[in-house]
Amino acid sequence: MDKIIITTDDAPSPIGPYNQAVLAGETLYISGQICIDPKTGELKKRDIQEETHQVMQNLKAILVAAHMGFNHVVKTTIFITDMNQFSEINEIYGKYFDGDFPARETIQVSALPKFVNVEISMIAVK
């Protein structure tokens, strides 16, 4: 099976030894994305809505680089630092799907990279 590394300047560069995404066969594995603005390298986290939108925009850019969209997403994992923000994150997240929601789990963690509040990873299939 071929493994293709997917990268785009429209999403943040990795901050460690990993890739933005890997396409294995017809399955795309997208690394967890946080609220880094790829144009400035700065965190966009004025509030949880802005933070979640930036995460979803980063994921969208990677999907587009792989010639896919949110309709190809079959599984997501959401990591959050405060379960009390779940409904606000969920509201923004849901707007990116046209009712064709993937499987998902949401996990509260004690901390995330760069001390952000939300990180989301995805699996998509062509």
CA distances from 116 to 1, 76, 109, 121 (A): 35, 18, 11, 14
Distance of CA 92 to the CA centre of its chain: 12
Q: What is the pTM of this model?
A: 0.97
Say yes or no: domain 3-125 is CATH 3.30.1330.40.
Answer: yes
Each of the 126 residues of the chain gets a pLDDT tens digit; together they read 789 999 999 999 998 999 999 999 999 999 999 999 999 999 999 999 999 999 999 999 999 999 999 999 999 999 999 999 999 999 999 999 998 999 999 999 999 999 999 999 999 999
**9-14 long-range Cβ contacts below 8 angstroms, 24+ apart:** 9/38, 10/38, 10/61, 10/64, 10/65, 11/38, 11/58, 11/59, 11/61, 11/62, 11/65, 12/36, 12/37, 12/38, 12/41, 12/58, 13/38
Other Cβ atoms less than 10 A from the Cβ of 69: the count is 14
CA 61 to CA 69: how far, in whole Å?
9
